[in-house]
Amino acid sequence: MSNQKTNNPIRVLHVLGTTNLGGAESRIMELYRCMDRSKVQFDFLVHTDKEGHYSKEIRELGGHIYSLPRFKVINLAEYKKAIRCFFAEHKEFLAVQGHMTSTASIYLPIAKKANPAIVTIAHARSAGVDKGLKGYVTKLLRSSLKHKTDYCFTCSKEAGEAVFGKDWVRKGKVITIPNAIDVNRFQYNEAVRKEIRAELGIQDKFVIGHVGRFGFMKNHTYLVDVFAELCKQREDMALVLIGKGEEEENIHKKLKKLGTELFGDEQALESKVRFLGNRFDVERYYQAFDYFVFPSTFEGLPGSVAEAQAAGLHCLISDKITREVALTELVTYRSIEEEPRLWAEEILQNAQNAFIRKDMREAIAQKGFDVNTQAVLMEKFYRTGKNPPGSNVKNP
């Protein structure tokens, strides 16, 4: 990769499903905001023609958004044709970074063929796949990916092994890039805590918080079971859920069912839960939480757990999640094979300590998770195409 002869910034294309709120999208946007955009600009190729959560901000920052048809397997020929047409028309990119690894083995080689000078990057951000046929197809498409890209990036050892294989990781051919955050954005603020708790009507409650999409991976079903156990022990419990997704309606139904079974009132549990949808200002809501609970079935490296630590929250998370996300002493792991009662007991035993909010920003930054530092390193990589910044997070 070489610098352009003009004073224009070089352009890097990020390939995603949408520009909506999500783990990968949020991490890219954090980086984008901190990048010197006079030198490096981001553009986005997404698999939808709908406006997303970040679309307006992307354009305000100087980025362009392009659309591809959604890949459905049966439209493989149409999908490839659309990609070929796109890269035949757009020669301005010096790098293309594929965060949709399910189809990266299709679009990255086409980009390379259209422009041999382009640097291709496959970025693994998840250590699992969906259930059923969709998951099987994803694994099949990923099987050859490591041979079809210039660089293999990952957010964690587990995600790298899941997408590129253990052997590729062992040989050092996979580069770990931390899911960095703006640590100062999440600094604990007592005034904001009081404001948000008053807004939600939970001033006198012990608040369990969760930030994540309502889908199989995040395991909201187990989270609700844990919450029900907590409510058996304390009347002052509240649960705040930030995110949207296809499982949201099922969680409403489960809360009603458990409320009836345990307390004889279908509203007994649901009335204690706040469904807030997606939030631009999510950092404000971390302040209102007392405990962060995250029982995922699989993850790459969840940025929300890093954010919760930056806010000084005690975090109880699934042992299916990489140890690399334990950036501070605030993280405790438990098995999701255990009875939810044991998770509830863990939370209640540490309830008093949860009110002590420590400033963990420096500790998180020292682990390589400060986005301002990462932006400088990634800018150098994008401008030269050499020496991508490896993580200083030690693999367990």
CATH code reported for the domain at 183-364: 3.40.50.2000
CB atoms within 10 A of CB 269: 24
Q: Where are the domains of the chain?
A: 10-180+370-384, 183-364
Which three-class secondary structure state does DSSP give residue 255?
Answer: helix
- Distances from the Cα of 358 to the Cαs of 310, 365, 378, in angstroms? 9, 15, 30
CA atoms of 188 and 196, how far apart (whole Å): 13
Residue with tokens 């693999």: 395
CB atoms within 10 A of CB 254: 18
Residue 16 pairs in a beta bridge with: 46
Q: Is the pLDDT of residue 1 over 70?
A: no
- Distances from the Cα of 180 to the Cαs of 176, 177, 200, 327, in angstroms? 11, 8, 29, 11
User: If residue 291 lies in a helix (H) or strand (E), which one and from where to where?
Assistant: strand 291-294
Predicted TM-score (pTM) of this structure: 0.85
Burial class (CB in 10 A: 0-12, 13-18, 19+), 55: middle
For the ranges 6-10, 77-81, 388-392, which has the lowest average pLDDT? 388-392
Q: What is the pLDDT of residues 86-133, one digit of tens each?
A: 999 999 999 999 999 889 999 999 999 999 999 999 999 887 767 776
CA atoms of 238 and 272, how far apart (whole Å): 5
CATH code reported for the domain at 10-180+370-384: 3.40.50.2000
Domain 10-180+370-384 matches domain 183-364 at the CATH topology level: yes
HSE-up (13 A, CA, CB side) for residue 207: 24
Q: What is the pLDDT of residues 193-238, one digit of tens each?
A: 999 999 999 999 999 999 999 999 999 999 999 999 999 999 999 9
